[in-house]
Amino acid sequence: MIKIYRWLVIFHAFVGIGALFGGLGVIIDPSGKGMGISTDVLVNAPFDDFLIPGIILFSFVGVCNILTAVTAYKKVKIQAYLSGVMSVVLVFWIVIQCYMLWAINILHVVYFLLGLVGITLACLLAYKQMLFPLNLIFKDKNENII
């Protein structure tokens, strides 16, 4: 179980640091030119520039993943839930981003797959700890109900 926590720390720190830098880059320059992108890709998005997506990326994906890495390092009891939620947030972020940009590139695929890895790790941790709802499905061995 300690290995799962270690992988969760690495996973959330990696995603969080990347999101902090990506979000900060477009917050500083909402035109995206400094990051090598153009606002022309936002033709299907509800935004004129990258400021709002940058704020969301920085705060929800970046800061929250860093905080989740800290909780994984401290091995909090509800870590499986925290990691699961943040991994689902990452997957949704990527899907929504691809939909709004109407494009998929290699980074989208990599981070989508990373989100699935995070979900898998969170599910494994929940299983190892027999957290809700698994505690209802797999009863205590002393009760002989499995």
**Tens digits of residue pLDDT in 40-54:** 888 888 999 999 999
Taking the C-alpha atoms of residue 127 and residue 96, their distance in angstroms, rounded to an integer, is 29
Q: Residue 134 — pLDDT band, cuts 50, 70, 90?
A: confident
Write the pLDDT tens digit of every residue in 70-126: 999 999 999 999 999 999 999 999 999 999 988 899 999 999 999 999 999 999 999
User: Measuring CA to CA, how many Å separate 97 from each of 4, 25, 81?
Assistant: 29, 17, 24
Which residues are CB-neighbours of 138 under 8 A, at least 6 positions away? 130, 146
| Percent of residues, the chain, with pLDDT higher than 90 | 72
64: containing domain: 2-32+41-143
Residue located via tokens 């033709």: 43
Q: What is the pTM of this model?
A: 0.87
How many structural domains compose the chain? 1
